[in-house]
Amino acid sequence: MRIGALVALTAAAWSVAAERTTESTPQYVTERLDNGLLVTIYADPRMPVVSTEVWYHVGAANEDPDSRGFAHLFEHLMFAGTPTFPRGAYARYVTRHGGYRNAYVNWDQTVYVSQIAPQHHRRILEMEADRMVNLELTQDALDNEKKIVTEELRLRLENNPERRALVAGLAAGLAGHPYASTPAGTREDIARATLDQCRRFYARYYGPRNAHLIVAGPVAPEPLLGDVRALFGVLPAKGEKPDDVPALLDWTFPVEVELTEDIPPAEAAALACALPPAVAADTDAVVLMLDMLRDFGDFEDLLVRARRQALFAQHIVMPGRRGGGVLLATAALPYRRKETAFRYIDEALDDLASLSWLSEENLAAAKRKRLLGEWARPYRSGEMAAAIGEAHWWRGDGRLALDTRRRLEAVTTADVASAFRRYIADARPVRVYVYPERVPWYVAWFGWLYPLASRLGVAP
């Protein structure tokens, strides 16, 4: 359908909807329209701008073999334009009025973001409602976005050895699980996408039944909700909710994965542990546990600086709605046996299991660091909108975004210790080992001298 006529019919109501709220305290209003669209309005007079986010509950984990990379492709295609608002109209409007626009995709959702002054917000909703059902998918638009996405892949993934190895490790370690496919897609995925496939993907997943509209800022909630009903409520009830993704903790993983990748002449070893779904009762303890390991665990200091057993060490956290992962990874010159590399990581893990990093003082510091963002959030409508979207989709209740402080304060050192034991210390991690494709002869022959030179203070 076309909504151009509706814009004119509802123009008189816009001046009311764009007014700043006169309430002195924030208001949280949520409603599900008859066509399935979930709408949440967070009205706060302290916020200087209005943020709008549209969460489509489809990501890389919901792609099938015929639509690999499409979630990322549609992150771009949604700006292709409609008959009412041609390509570039959205960008020009936001730029002209000093706003901000963006979009991002991951395994679980694709999100479209804008921030703009209250008096200019009305047109944003018009354009979001329009492109929800009237996106103009043409071969020219597809060809253009293919070029852009392919260039992104080249810059951000293909030219980054660490990311290439990580993507390869995910594909092998999570084989068969929907999270095994990178949200970025691959050059081959994008190249074989056809216009008919894209139209089917859009018709299947993009629509009110699979979307969450969030508006946060200095708005009057009831008039704004009335206008949202007028613009979005008349849209057809399209948009299919994807099947839920299996929880990572319930998945069967291989014991070990070996890869050979085009990386610098070093061998990488990692222990990969699965984390619980975001709806788990101990999610807040897990979040603080990961923060404390990063800030106080000294995994890198132990292996690189204190023991000089690795050139590089890091713990990498990868969040996901149905479970994330944490990798304890190291890299060393390619002269060491694989079993030695894993023995060093196991020894470092044993040191972490002593819980020397877990104290009341460190837990309080981790909470303060997390809550710093909470204290600033009343002035950052974009952060509030994003928090509401994630709280609803990942944890089942958008209001949890307003309750972070109480939940974090309730976490104890015993809760953090329990989370560490359950998901890391007592887990059965996947062992991942990555060999470089090419090793210079002098590294292969004399790399074993590096530890000696390092201990003597000769090597950096």
Residue type, 350: D
Res 439 pLDDT > 90: no
pLDDT class for 307, splitting at 50, 70, 90? confident
Q: How high is the pLDDT of residue 452?
A: 53
Predicted pLDDT of residue 17: 38
79 pLDDT band, cuts 50/70/90, is: very high
pLDDT at res. 160: 85
The reported pLDDT for the residue numbered 375 is: 80
pLDDT in tens, 34-68: 999 999 999 999 999 999 999 999 999 999 888 88
CA distance 396 to 390: 9
What is the token pair recorded at 225? 């909700």
> Does residue 297 surpass a pLDDT of 50?
yes
291: nearest Cα among 197, 364, 183, 214:
364
Higher-scoring residue by pLDDT: 315, 82: 82
Model pTM greater than 0.85?
yes
Locus of tokens 């995925």: 189
Low-confidence winner among 163-172, 295-304, 436-445 (lowest mean pLDDT): 436-445
Average pLDDT over residues 84-88: 96
pLDDT score recorded for residue 252: 94
The confidence score (pLDDT) of residue 438 equals 80
How do residues 379-438 score in pLDDT, each as one tens digit?
A: 899 999 999 999 999 999 999 999 999 999 999 999 999 999 999 999 999 999 999 888
Tell me which amino acid residue 21 is.
T
Q: What is the pLDDT of residue 448?
A: 57
Residue 15: predicted pLDDT: 37
pLDDT recorded at residue 157: 84
Spell out where 207-266 has E strands: 211-217, 256-261
pLDDT attached to residue 442 = 62
> Region 2-26: what's the mean pLDDT?
46
Residues 182-205 have a mean pLDDT of 93
- pLDDT of amino acid 1: 41
- Res. 21: pLDDT tops 90: no
Q: How confident is the model at residue 2 (pLDDT cuts 50, 70, 90)?
A: very low
Residue reference for tokens 């944490």: 326
Tokens 């395994």 correspond to 107
At 325 the pLDDT is 94
Residue 33 and residue 233 in contact, taking contact as beta carbons nearer than 8 Å: yes
Question: What percentage of the chain reaches a pLDDT higher than 90?
Answer: 73
**Three-state DSSP string of 28-91:** EEEEECCCCCEEEEEECCCCCCEEEEEEECCCHHHCCCCCCCHHHHHHHHCCCCCCCCCCCHHH
Region 366-391 average pLDDT:
90
Distances, alpha carbon 433 to alpha carbons 210, 275, 339, 400, in Å = 39, 20, 10, 39
Instruction: Tell me the three state secondary structure of residue 166.
Output: helix
The span from the CA of 460 to the CA of 453, in Å, is: 9
Mean pLDDT of 218-225: 96
What is the rounded average pLDDT of the residues 252-271? Answer: 91
The pLDDT tens digits of the residues spanning 132-186 come to 999 999 999 999 999 999 999 888 888 888 888 888 888 899 989 999 988 988 8
Mean pLDDT value across the chain = 89
Inform me whether the pLDDT recorded for 130 exceeds 90: yes
Region 326-331 average pLDDT: 93
Query: Model confidence at 460, in pLDDT bands (50, 70, 90)?
Result: very low
251 CB-near residues (< 8 Å, 6+ apart): 174, 177, 274
Q: What value does the mean pLDDT take over residues 202-221?
A: 97
Average of per-residue pLDDT across 87-98: 96
